[in-house]
Amino acid sequence: MSEIAVPPSPAADIPWEQQFATRASGMVASEIRELLKILARPDIVSFAGGIPDPALFPSEAFAEAYRSVFADPSRTAAALQYSISEGHRPLRDWIVAHMAGQGVACSADHVLITSGSQQALDFLGKLMLSPGDTVLATTPTYLGALQAFSAYEPHYQRLHPEGGNQTPDHYLAQAARHGGRPKLLYVVPDFANPTGETLSEAARLRLLDLAEETGALVVEDAAYRQLRYEGLPVPSVLALDCGRRGGIERARSVYCGTFSKTLAPGLRMGWIAGPRPLIEKLVLIKQAADLHSGTLDQVVLGDVAQQCLEDRLPLLCGTYRRRRGAMLAALEASAPAGTTWTRPQGGLFVWVTLPEQVDTRALLPRAVEEARVAYVPGGAFFFDGRGGNTLRLSFSLADEATIDRGIRSLMALVGEFVRGHG
Amino acid sequence: MSEIAVPPSPAADIPWEQQFATRASGMVASEIRELLKILARPDIVSFAGGIPDPALFPSEAFAEAYRSVFADPSRTAAALQYSISEGHRPLRDWIVAHMAGQGVACSADHVLITSGSQQALDFLGKLMLSPGDTVLATTPTYLGALQAFSAYEPHYQRLHPEGGNQTPDHYLAQAARHGGRPKLLYVVPDFANPTGETLSEAARLRLLDLAEETGALVVEDAAYRQLRYEGLPVPSVLALDCGRRGGIERARSVYCGTFSKTLAPGLRMGWIAGPRPLIEKLVLIKQAADLHSGTLDQVVLGDVAQQCLEDRLPLLCGTYRRRRGAMLAALEASAPAGTTWTRPQGGLFVWVTLPEQVDTRALLPRAVEEARVAYVPGGAFFFDGRGGNTLRLSFSLADEATIDRGIRSLMALVGEFVRGHG
């Protein structure tokens, strides 16, 4: 289709910025997404995007699931039609069984299907946050969560889940100073984006204490939970919560799951599991926001999850485990003195802290041009301006040899930079 | 999969209502959606849902489009992977050509893909509305638009597009009394939900005047625009706007389109076309809300739209034209004195006004039990409590003979009711 010529028109004379809602002033392009567009060059080894390897998608199972829907006229008619906002029942039933496997007893009424876990975060912000309310989050944390919540104009406070001596009263007093209350306590407890770190069970229990004492809701972003490469699983926050409070109806936390990292992100399918009073409101939010997630995609994802999700985890985890190993070994072999990094038990990311004098934003153009390697400067993940000497590396996309070569080139450049400034 | 037993737990002791954002108090279940669940009984003739006839979905074309993606490994990998927030480029290119066919010259930068036009309405509310700002809308109007906007806590004022003597100063003064400004001017100009009525070109031009004088953005909900059964098309508001202001960059309106009524609603795919300063902000909203719409569904919809959308319109319009004819003829033949109804030139709905003493909410249970017919009580579409003696009928789902029988039964019941109260 040929591009339509747009007639020249004078520059817009409408001062839209003055017309927008106040929340719009905080909406700025994600540094990471802009970076990813620039960095999608075939000659660059990209450790930047946190995206799954498409070679690991169960393409055959998806093809067969779509084919099977279209082979049956009555399934086809239903799959192309409007559906209920709560989500396709067989898919919710699969999630109910999956949650049970994690120690969370629930029913389909405790589950809302969302368009990826990103939409879950948006909806939770919409449900809980009035302007001036407070979100407690670690720094660094998942930037997309901050983008989702920021539309509702909260204030942020730093959470110290593994230590620190902030009392609940401290958080309450700080929140009151900004005219609101602590409403959300956001964590990625397993193999966090961006650090790869996992919260201990003790830290999870302290989070639940803090939620209880401040009245906040814990939002457990479980995006990477199923990608564990070593060590024993830590119970999910929601499972601990149900255990302490006697069931999901009395829980103070919600669990945001996704199929993006285990099956495929392109279908945009995730879920929220939590107590009914919250799910009922979230269903209304879903209805007003987009009526429901795609019917056909929900049907297909229900089939594919049922058929092959559990069976594919060993392949996924084995592949990513080897790539993580290659990255950690290359760092060990080549990182200059004064560099530290995390050793994640799962997920997609290693978090690197370089010597203080290195500015990873300033270093990036040289990394791309000279080392032919891309990463995400860590400052993007902080809401308090710190992290200038940090960077996030993803090991999900490249094979071991390429990872080894890329890390050595990058660390050689860092070494040069450090010596040049030494 | 068997249902998991949920252990008994004490009733929630958490006062969630006090924890929710202030906007949550306005979130109540849609009367219509609740009704539709109850009324989905095979023994009832449903004139209630405004949903397309699944027999008219191009199922073969969809099956072939999915098959073709999965036949090519590189297309498969891309279709299952993350994508850009703006939307799949070939789909946006199809929309650009479609808009050009309506007299709107634009480029792919003026188009954002949304998850149905419902999401477009949510995003426009999010972009424009601070609490206390004003939305101008007709009453009755599409309930889903009010649900989407209400999350941003606006005030509503009644719009009189075909007449009335409200001056721009009147609207500005009213809006100021509620602490905000007129921000959105929402209309369904073609074959509106729920009335089936179409705005004249003169009315559309007056809306643009009003937008200019109040500073508001016109939101043109074009959901039914392609379903015209008689008469000549009226230029879209956005086309008129571009014509007057010299191009889309200076437009004061955005156009919300959807594939739900022409191809299939189950894929949840629609778009917003408008000036770049708005689209750029809406892309950021999309990114924070759900990253992007489903990649595979966008690829498939691009293929199917390109291949068969235009060719299928005669089948769609021919079928619905006959059903509309059957409904209007049956009303003519059987409606009791004092009943009036609209004669839509397209879309899915006829709007009926019964004698004043009839309460269509109260009548509904009898309509279902005695006449075996369902409809939507019209009061649901008013934000100002009026419309108690109105109802919305959809002619999209039943064949002509069933429509004739259903309308005659319903009108016989209305006649009885009127005489009983006479």
Q: What DSSP assignment string belongs to B30-75?
A: -HHHHHHHHH--TTSEE-------GGGS-HHHHHHHHHHHHTSHHH
Residue type, A407: I
Q: What is the pLDDT of residues B167-176, one digit of tens each?
A: 999 999 999 9
Q: What is the mean pLDDT of chain A?
A: 93
User: Are the C-beta atoms of residues A222 and A257 closer than 8 Å to each other?
Assistant: yes
CA distance A11 to chain B (A): 7
Q: Report pLDDT digits (tens) over A269-294.
A: 999 999 999 999 999 999 999 999 99
In 3-state terms, what secondary structure has residue A62?
helix
Give the whole-angstrom CA distance, residue A300 versus residue A293.
12
Residue B12: predicted pLDDT: 55
Min Cα–Cα distance to chain A from B317, Å? 19
ipTM higher than 0.90?
yes
Question: Looking at the predicted structure, is the pLDDT value of residue A20 above 60?
Answer: yes
Chain A nearest C-alpha distance from B39 (Å): 14
Instruction: Please give the average per-residue pLDDT across A338-354, as a whole number.
Output: 98
Q: If you average pLDDT over residues A49-68, what whole number do you get?
A: 96
Q: Can you give the pLDDT at residue A1?
A: 37
| Facing residue for A19 by CB, picked from B5, B28, B128 | B128
Give one DSSP letter per residue of B76-97, joined into a string: HHHHTS---TT--HHHHHHHHH
Contact A30 B62 (CB under 8 A): no
Instruction: Specify the higher pLDDT residue, A10 or A311.
Output: A311
Q: Give the residues of chain B that fall short of pLDDT 50.
A: 1-11
Q: Average pLDDT of A34-55?
A: 82
Residues whose CB falls within 8 Å of the CB of residue A380, separated by 6 or more in sequence, listed in order:
A30, A31, A32, A143
Rounded-to-integer distance, Cα A185 and Cα A182, Å:
8
Instruction: Taking residues A398-409, report their average pLDDT.
Output: 97
Rounded CA gap, A239 and A243, in Å?
Answer: 6
Q: pLDDT per residue over B64-95, tens digit each?
A: 999 999 999 999 999 999 999 999 999 999 99
What pLDDT, in 10s, does the model give residues B21-46? 999 988 887 766 666 666 667 788 98
Nearest CA in chain A to B129: A21
In A192-235, where does DSSP find H-type helix? 201-214
pLDDT at res. B4: 45
CA angle A151, A156, A161 (to 5 degrees): 125
Q: Of A85, A148, A296, which is closest to B267 when you measure between CB atoms?
A: A296
> How far is the C-alpha of A210 from the C-alpha of A187, rounded, in Å?
13
Closest CA to A207 of A221, A196, A222, A220: A220
Pairing relationship of beta strands A253-258 and A270-273 according to DSSP bridges = antiparallel
pLDDT over threshold 80, residue A174: yes
| pLDDT greater than 50 at residue A324 | yes
Go through the domains of chain A in sequence order and give each one's CATH number.
27-57+312-421 (3.90.1150.10), 59-309 (3.40.640.10)
Give the span between the Cα atoms of B128 and B120, in whole angstroms. 12
The Cα-based distances of B397 to B41, B51, B52 in angstroms read 13, 7, 7
CB-CB under 8 Å, B55 with A129? no
Say which of A6, A97, A181 has its CB closest to residue B106.
A6
* pLDDT tens per residue across span A195-221: 999 999 999 999 999 999 999 999 999
What is residue A42's predicted lDDT score, i.e. its pLDDT?
Answer: 78
Determine, for residues B5 and A97 on separate chains, whether the beta-carbon distance falls below 8 Å: no
